Amino acid sequence: MDLTRSELIRRLVLNSICDDFENVDQIILRDVTKDSAKFGLTIERSDVVDGLAGLIEDGLAKAYILSGTGGNPFSGELDCIPPMDLVEENFKTYFYITKEGKELLLSNDIWWSADDED
């Protein structure tokens, strides 16, 4: 299965957010950078943000503002990706895969031939 660079980044981002709410600067960028190196790619933060924006636009991921006050984490759902030009210092913006995103991720795992460690 041949994926474009952009689609590979989107799949790596989905993989990073498939089991928990994740923040770009805390987890997603680190995961995608590490995994993309297995494909010989160098990924920048802007690549991850662009990938997330496309995933949200396509209904495959959602953005959330999470607070430490408990309650339902889904109550802070955002309609779109907020401005992500700067590295977040307070880690309030998180992303999570949707049902449709999980279906896409699981629909064909041939693309993930580099997953030899986990």
Which pLDDT tens digits describe the chain residue by residue (118 residues)?
A: 578 899 999 999 999 999 999 999 999 999 999 999 988 999 999 999 999 999 999 999 999 987 666 666 666 888 888 888 888 888 889 999 999 999 998 887 655 544 445 4
Asked if residue 16 is part of any domain, the answer here is yes
Q: How many separate domains does the chain show?
A: 1
Strand order in the sheet with 77-78: 77-78, 61-65, 93-97
Question: What's the pLDDT at 17?
Answer: 96
Q: Which two tokens stand for residue 71?
A: 């309650």
Asked if residue 114 is part of any domain, the answer here is no
Asked if residue 116 is part of any domain, the answer here is no
72/29 Cα distance (integer angstroms) = 25
Asked if residue 118 is part of any domain, the answer here is no
State the CATH number of the domain containing residue 20.
Answer: 1.10.10.10
Asked if residue 41 is part of any domain, the answer here is yes
Asked if residue 117 is part of any domain, the answer here is no
43/93 Cα distance (integer angstroms) = 20
Question: What's the pLDDT at 74?
Answer: 63
CB-based contacts of 98, cutoff 8 Å, min separation 6: 59, 60, 61, 62
Question: What's the pLDDT at 114?
Answer: 47
Asked if residue 70 is part of any domain, the answer here is yes
